[in-house]
Amino acid sequence: MRVGIVCPYSLDAPGGVQNHVRDLAEVLLAEGHAVSVLAPADDDTPVPPYVVPAGRAVPVPYNGSVARLAFGPVSAARVRRWIRDGQFDVLHIHEPATPSLSLLALWAAVGPIVGTFHTAMPRSRMMSVASSVLRPALEKISARIAVSEPARDTLVQHLGGEPVVIPNGLFVDRFARARPRPEWQGEDGTMCFLGRLDEPRKGLAVLLRAFPAIWRARPSVRLLVAGPGDVEEVRSGLPAECRDAVTFLGKIDDEGKADMFASSQVYVAPQTGGESFGIVLVEAMAAGAPVLASDLDAFRLVVDGGRLGRLFGVGDSDDLATGALELLGDAALRDRLREAARVAVRRYDWSAVAKEILSVYEMVAAGYPGVGEADDRSGGVRPGGKVR
């Protein structure tokens, strides 16, 4: 099968959507499918051989974060050329409503189109206003996928449709093989955090407000903080007496991330909102780190209401500290959580997730001869297109 995948966000920045697209492409290629990924990038940006750059990405504030998007006439022309040259059996567009390559591709194509929706924003005024404009284009999508129940609820509320829920995928065994690094071990246990330091919704500030109380109860505890951002600014906000207990790892690769989880007795996910799934919780569980997460809908689903990890009140630093001390002080509890999580994370392995996605591809492809190029935004077909 020839599959075209559209990623709206620049691949040079970390993110759940980008990782999902990259991993899916590699799984499909390994299974013998022909895959091309269209993503924002300059022509001289290093990308995998299956990625086609579609123009420079511009940072845009979105959903409490900063998304790097590509839009405009240059990108639109590249999208049309990529669709025309690709001769795809299926076009898989991620975040089809995002004003980037995804929306451009949706306007430009007709035929068997799969849309995956990652965003969870149940009270988005922007999406409510845009829904009437987007609906005609979204009607071209043959099948809709949501990565979680919160993402599904957002899609149904604002844009309609009947999506199937297929979660983000993970190479579980890669994380299960991770090993603790002695230099990251604390005598009173090790905690870790992963996320952009300067993005408020990732919740680092909530964790750092809790950490002095944790450190006073367990003076030899270690906190590992991984992710890009201004380390000195963050460090200066900590009380001087416990600064040495916090190690900033900066931006780390997948191997380092897995080893950090494996080195930790607690992975803390203090996000305050805007999370549609929580793949990082699954990564931590796969590597053997018990999870302590804020009680967001998406996180509650991943930890099965508390069976696979502990939850604390969103933004509540005191509750976070209480939960962390409970986990750090109870080895038997950590072992129970690890064992339950070890079994549960298999649900997210790419060996299972890719089969579900391929079944959607096969279903939509059965009704069309292939992807064609639309002659305008109304969904007509340019002469010579594959779809009639």
**pLDDT winner (highest mean) among 88-102, 254-268, 370-384:** 254-268
**What CATH number does the domain containing 309 carry?**
3.40.50.2000
Same domain, 149 and 244: no
Which segment of 10-19, 165-174, 238-247, 258-267 scores lowest on mean pLDDT?
Answer: 10-19
Quickly state the pLDDT bin for 64 (edges 50, 70, 90). low
Q: Residue 196 sits in which domain range?
A: 175-346
Same domain, 252 and 359: no
Q: What is the pLDDT of residue 378?
A: 44
Q: What is the pLDDT of residue 279?
A: 93
Quickly state the pLDDT bin for 387 (edges 50, 70, 90). very low
Same domain, 72 and 153: yes
Quickly state the pLDDT bin for 75 (edges 50, 70, 90). confident
Q: Report the domain count for the chain.
A: 2
Same domain, 293 and 213: yes
Same domain, 307 and 369: no
Q: What is the reported pTM?
A: 0.87
Same domain, 123 and 196: no
Burial 85-100 (b: 16+ CB within 10 A, else e): ebebbbbbbbbbbbbb
**Is there a contact between 190 and 324 (Cβ–Cβ < 8 Å)?**
no
Quickly state the pLDDT bin for 98 (edges 50, 70, 90). confident
Same domain, 106 and 254: no
Minimal CA–CA distance to 39: which of 73, 15, 12, 2?
Answer: 12
Same domain, 14 and 161: yes
255, pLDDT greater than 50: yes
Same domain, 115 and 56: yes
pLDDT digits (tens, 9 = 90+) for 289-332: 999 999 999 999 999 999 999 999 999 999 999 999 999 999 99
388, pLDDT greater than 60: no
Same domain, 138 and 272: no
Residue 69: enclosing H or E segment and its boundaries?
strand 65-69
Q: What is the pLDDT of residue 386?
A: 44
Beta-carbon contacts of 216 under 8 Å, excluding residues fewer than 6 positions away, are none
Same domain, 321 and 180: yes
246, pLDDT greater than 60: yes
346, pLDDT greater than 90: yes
- CB atoms closer than 10 angstroms to residue 192: 24
Which segment of 173-182, 199-208, 363-372 scores lowest on mean pLDDT?
Answer: 363-372
Q: What is the pLDDT of residue 350?
A: 97
**Is there a contact between 1 and 32 (Cβ–Cβ < 8 Å)?**
no
Residue 151: enclosing H or E segment and its boundaries?
helix 149-159
384 occurs within a structural domain: no
Quickly state the pLDDT bin for 168 (edges 50, 70, 90). very high
318 occurs within a structural domain: yes
Q: What is the pLDDT of residue 79?
A: 92
